[in-house]
Structure 1
Amino acid sequence: MTVTDINTLADRIEDLLPQTQCTKCGYPACRPYAEAVASGEAGYNQCPPGGAQGIARLAALLGKPIIALNPANGVERPRPVAIIDEQVCIGCTLCMQACPVDAIVGAPKQMHTVIAELCTGCDLCVPPCPVDCIAMPSVTGEATGWDAWSQRQADAARERHDRREARLAREREAAEARAAARRASNGASDPSQPHRAAAGAAATASPAASANANADADADAKKRAIIQAALERARKKKEELAAKGQGPLNTDHVSADVQAQIDAAEARRRRLGLAADTDKPSSKR
């Protein structure tokens, strides 16, 4: 089979996957798993969210027998949705960084909120939470696999995942450009190294990055509206809790270990240019 044939088959396999981006298949996203199945590197029974129906779909495409889900990859189950206990949340942003479809909104040291209609139930936000404030209740009753999911939801999840990956790539490129500019600025102050200033100036000129940033503006408009609505709901809830004398209880009482995780996350955000250099971690040790 040629490379072109493998890529074409991978496209068809990817179209049959639920696009939860959960990594339970053993690959970082649905697309890499599709490519692995197409090349024969992975089995077609490694996707728990797709379940038995998903295996049957892939078997029909590949001309293979229907086999059981590989238990090493998990079990078929009703679809869950992440719910954050906002009175326990400490605003560390680790869950936001883990979400593969940008279904969590919030800000450092503020309560986070899951946009339920965007959540794929991937579970990836649960392990990094340092205060165990995320629950994953089932929302589909007894329905599992494709009975608990739809092609429309899968297509939307894939689009959000792809937009997120493109955004992260732009942010990395922008961070690299800023780092190059800083190096150029340092080099410009050293008359013995004029070539460094020139190289830095060239690096900061990135019309391709600007064009890519503008390309997604329309596609992101709807998502921004959804996020804004979710933030407004979170704001109203926060006001209601405050009126009752309630609210996030842990933001000012964080253990040294948890604070170290938050500080490390914020340091990574600054290195990537995702936070202002003036935003210093406020350790409470």
Structure 2
Amino acid sequence: MTPTLADRIDTLLPQTQCEQCGFHGCRPYAEAIAADEAGIDRCPPGGAIGIARLAALLDRPVVPLDPTHGVEKPRTLARIVEADCIGCTKCIQVCPVDAILGASKVMHTVVSDLCTGCELCVPACPVDCIRLDPMPLAQADDREHADAARRHFQRREARLSHERAERERQLEANKAVVAAPTARNAVLEALARARLRKKDTP
């Protein structure tokens, strides 16, 4: 299948899924650029090189990074200070690529090979136990790593969507159970009506 313009733009994005561009992930940003609804200057992780690549693809002028979306800086990897971790799972909940392992009240850890350096886990941590270490340059510009990050993000989004649909289905089922009279209630109501009729009979 021939790649769409959004596909080709998405391929040039770093796949951090950091949302600094104002979109929920790199793919929505790519689609907005393709539709001429967003500029090519919103991706701090991609930086000047990323903007130049997008400009070349789209035959647009190279522009500086829009500072309202952040500043360009070296890519990082998250690391949890295990001694300080309280196992709250808040970082796990916000990681867009499922790079953090752990469970409630159990120490968490970051799988560095999966981490994109989105930094979303840092403000989520209530005990400030997440540090940012430099990302190796080879990893920062590795297309295979970016492609893997895209797949992890897509799988997570699909899983969350399925879980939301399942919760909504269960909620609707519970509402139906509450709204529908049970057989016992129907019998009790019939008995009550019979008693009233008997009481009113002279």
Question: Normalised by the size of structure 1, how large is the TM-score?
Answer: 0.60
RMSD between aligned residues: 2.2
The reply on whether 1:172 has 2:164 as its aligned counterpart is: yes
* 1:82 counterpart SS class: strand
The reply on whether 1:51 has 2:47 as its aligned counterpart is: yes
Deviation at 1:80, TM superposition (A): 0.6
The count of aligned residue pairs is 184
Runs of 5+ in structure 2 lacking a partner?
187-202
The reply on whether 1:184 has 2:176 as its aligned counterpart is: yes
Counterpart Cα distance in 1 of 2:44 and 2:87: 30
1:193 and 1:65, CA in 2 relative to 1: closer, same or farther beyond 3 A? farther
Tell me what 1:66 maps to. Answer: 62
Counterpart Cα distance in 2 of 1:148 and 1:110: 30
1:75 and 1:185, CA in 2 relative to 1: closer, same or farther beyond 3 A? same
Runs of 5+ in structure 1 lacking a partner?
1-6, 195-285
Deviation at 1:62, TM superposition (A): 0.8
Given the alignment, which residue of 4, 8, 12 partners 1:12?
8
Given the alignment, which residue of 149, 154, 159 partners 2:146?
154
Counterpart Cα distance in 1 of 2:151 and 2:30: 16
Q: Larger radius of gyration, structure 1 or 2?
A: 2
Deviation at 1:188, TM superposition (A): 4.3
Q: How does 1:117-266 map to 2 (within 5 A)?
A: 117-140=113-136, 143=137, 148-190=140-182
Counterpart Cα distance in 2 of 1:40 and 1:27: 14
The reply on whether 1:77 has 2:37 as its aligned counterpart is: no
Counterpart Cα distance in 2 of 1:61 and 1:139: 27
Q: Deviations over 1:42-64 (max 9, x none)?
A: 11011111122211110011101
Tell me what 1:22 maps to. Answer: 18
Counterpart Cα distance in 2 of 1:38 and 1:71: 22
Counterpart Cα distance in 2 of 1:90 and 1:10: 41
Counterpart Cα distance in 2 of 1:84 and 1:158: 23
2:126 partner letter:
P
Judge conservation of contact 1:20–1:49 (CA < 8 Å) in 2: yes
Deviation at 1:185, TM superposition (A): 2.8
Counterpart Cα distance in 1 of 2:126 and 2:41: 32
What percent identity do the matched residue pairs reach?
A: 57
Tell me what 2:193 maps to. Answer: none
Deviation at 1:187, TM superposition (A): 3.5
Judge conservation of contact 1:187–1:193 (CA < 8 Å) in 2: no
1:91 partner letter:
G
Counterpart Cα distance in 1 of 2:168 and 2:132: 37
Given the alignment, which residue of 5, 14, 37 partners 1:41?
37
Higher strand share: 2
Q: Deviations over 1:103-135 (max 9, x none)?
A: 011111111111111000000001111111111
